[in-house]
Amino acid sequence: MGLGKGMMALGIGCRKGTAAAVVLAVIDEALQAHDLKLAHPLFIATGGIKAEEEGIREAANQLGADFLILPDEALQAVTSRTLTRSELSLAHTGLPSLSEAAALAAAGPTARLVGPRHVSRGVTCAIAISENSL
């Protein structure tokens, strides 16, 4: 998925039934923690296990982001590049970090995480950025 230059992907995980307002607040916290602003094109990504989470979908709508539900194979393919190893995430999703894997997979092969996922209020948010490699 080559997605052009200077794009940002936010990988999101959350507890069941988390409201969009909470997801948006945690995205803001994560951006502030890394001194970043939202960049466009913007993708909000998660795994199939969270496909029914309206809070994530609604947050993507409010931010004008494309909402991606990534297949397990795409998430597994990038786990070697995640920074966090969460036993809870492994138990639930088989991934060391669903949010970090989703951000990396959405942002493409040149993506890098800006840092470990941000965890707050039952939401995890990982930020990946990809630039065109010249």
Chain mean position to CA 29: 14
Rounded Cα gap, residues 19 and 39, in angstroms: 23
Task: Judge whether residue 2 has pLDDT over 60.
Answer: no
Higher pLDDT, 134 or 57: 57
How buried is 22 (Cβ within 10 angstroms: 0-12 exposed, 13-18 middle, 19+ buried)? middle
Rounded Cα gap, residues 43 and 129, in angstroms: 10
In this prediction, residues 77-99 reach a mean pLDDT of 93
The pLDDT mean for the chain works out to 92
Is 90 in a helix, a strand, or coil? helix
Using alpha carbons, list the distances in angstroms from residue 19 to 14, 67, 86, 102, 121: 10, 16, 23, 20, 11
Task: Judge whether residue 127 has pLDDT over 60.
Answer: yes
